[in-house]
């Protein structure tokens, strides 16, 4: 087994390799003057089981091209098996035709990764589970719930906690956490008037006097979370904390979260935190390195990955 990394999230790659007790593979991923990507594998990988750690986060297209070119380089270097490890799978929100004459970009990206030469994919909390079916190669979709549940148990009195889904579509994800920590579930019903804006309409469930935990897979602009936090507090919640797997946090999201009524936003390191995120007073980052490292180890050993979540 050899583990390599692109430029998207070197801190996470280092932490995963530390868990596995293996060095990060030697590879050069750099740019020509015109920003073309050049990859050079600097050690022998013939017959090796290769894992490439690369989130397709901002700048999404650059990191996606790095991944594709790295896969091609390993295929041409006679690696026995190539596993693309994507802690964050970009383009996942475009998983269906949302309107006439629009693409299904998640399927296109799945095709690109497959055609580049990947033998299998390992990813974390896909925005929609059906994206697994977009790949014609084995795909493992890991869940961050065990990592989030462990953090909740360390920081909260579970007798006074209410798990909340910020929208109807995220109920399955929220229910998984509620079941794991044995607490009740509420739902924020919202109506989206236009793209990028959300209006909270109603809170389904009794949140009065509860420490509410908003659960979702992606936080981008932060508008939905901030509106949901206000609605929950108006309905009597004692505090509102958000637990989100992928901290995209584009544009002015960090400032918006900082000025909001959220007690805290907890995100994982599936996307490398920016300087603004690291310095924010109410954003905390927890690691998924052990979860991803164990999944990589089990994949290499041909043992069960799904048993990680039993």
Task: Going from the first residue of the chain to its last (310 residues), give the mean pLDDT of each consecutive group of 10, the final group possibly shorter.
Answer: 96 97 96 95 97 96 97 97 97 92 96 97 94 96 95 93 91 93 91 61 90 95 90 94 96 94 96 94 96 97 90
Q: What is the CA 17 to chain-centroid distance, rounded?
A: 19
| Pairwise CA distance, residues 145 & 148, whole Å | 5
| Pairwise CA distance, residues 232 & 228, whole Å | 6
Question: What pLDDT does 2 receive?
Answer: 97
| Pairwise CA distance, residues 99 & 254, whole Å | 30
Q: Of 26, 190, 234, 261, which one is the catalytic site residue?
A: 190
Residues 50 and 105 in one domain: yes
Q: Is 217 annotated as a binding residue?
A: no
Q: Judge contact between 205 and 162, C-beta under 8 A.
A: yes
DSSP letter assigned to residue 273: P
Residues 150 and 277 in one domain: yes
Domain tally, the chain: 2
HSE at residue 166, side-chain half, CA atoms within 13 A, is: 24
Residue 102 belongs to what domain range?
2-142+290-309
179 part of the active site: no
Q: Does the reported pTM lie above 0.85?
A: yes
Residues 102 and 175 in one domain: no
Q: Is 224 annotated as a binding residue?
A: yes
Q: Is 220 annotated as a binding residue?
A: yes
| Pairwise CA distance, residues 149 & 97, whole Å | 34
Q: Is 35 annotated as a binding residue?
A: yes
Residues 136 and 226 in one domain: no
CATH number of the domain enclosing 129: 3.40.50.2020
Question: What pLDDT does 224 receive?
Answer: 86
Q: Is 36 annotated as a binding residue?
A: yes
Question: What pLDDT does 190 receive?
Answer: 73
Residues 186 and 211 in one domain: yes
Question: What pLDDT does 196 receive?
Answer: 58
Q: Is 223 annotated as a binding residue?
A: yes
Residues 149 and 277 in one domain: yes
Q: Judge contact between 210 and 178, C-beta under 8 A.
A: no
């Amino acid at each position: 087994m050899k583990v390599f990394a692109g430029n998207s999230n070197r801190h996470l790659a280092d932490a995963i390799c530390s868990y596995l007790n293996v060095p990060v593979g030697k590879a050069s991923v750099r740019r020509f003057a015109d920003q073309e990507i050049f990859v050079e594998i600097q050690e022998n990988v013939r017959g090796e089981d290769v894992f490439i750690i690369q989130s397709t986060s901002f700048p999404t297209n650059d990191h996606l091209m790095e991944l594709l070119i790295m896969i091609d380089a390993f295929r041409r270097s006679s690696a026995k098996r190539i596993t693309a490890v994507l802690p964050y799978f970009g383009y996942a929100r475009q998983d269906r035709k949302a309107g006439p004459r629009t693409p299904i970009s998640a399927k296109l990206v799945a095709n690109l990764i497959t055609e580049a030469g990947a033998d299998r994919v390992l990813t974390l909390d896909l925005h929609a589970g059906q994206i697994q079916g977009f790949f014609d190669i084995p795909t493992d979709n890991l869940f961050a719930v065990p990592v989030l549940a462990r953090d909740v148990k360390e920081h909260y009195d579970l007798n006074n906690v209410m798990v909340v889904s910020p929208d109807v579509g995220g109920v399955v994800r929220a229910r998984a956490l509620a079941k794991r920590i044995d607490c009740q579930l509420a739902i924020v019903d919202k109506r989206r008037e236009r793209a990028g804006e959300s209006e909270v309409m109603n809170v389904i469930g009794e949140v009065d006097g509860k420490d509410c935990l908003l659960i979702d897979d992606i936080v981008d602009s932060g508008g939905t979370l901030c509106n949901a936090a206000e609605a929950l507090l108006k309905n009597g919640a004692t505090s509102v904390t958000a637990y989100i797997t992928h901290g995209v946090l584009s544009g002015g999201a960090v400032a918006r979260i900082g000025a909001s009524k959220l007690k805290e936003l907890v995100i994982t390191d599936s996307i490398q935190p920016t300087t603004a995120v690291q310095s924010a007073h109410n954003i905390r980052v927890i690691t998924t390195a052990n979860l991803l490292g164990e999944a990589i180890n089990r994949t290499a050993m041909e043992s069960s990955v799904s048993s990680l979540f039993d």
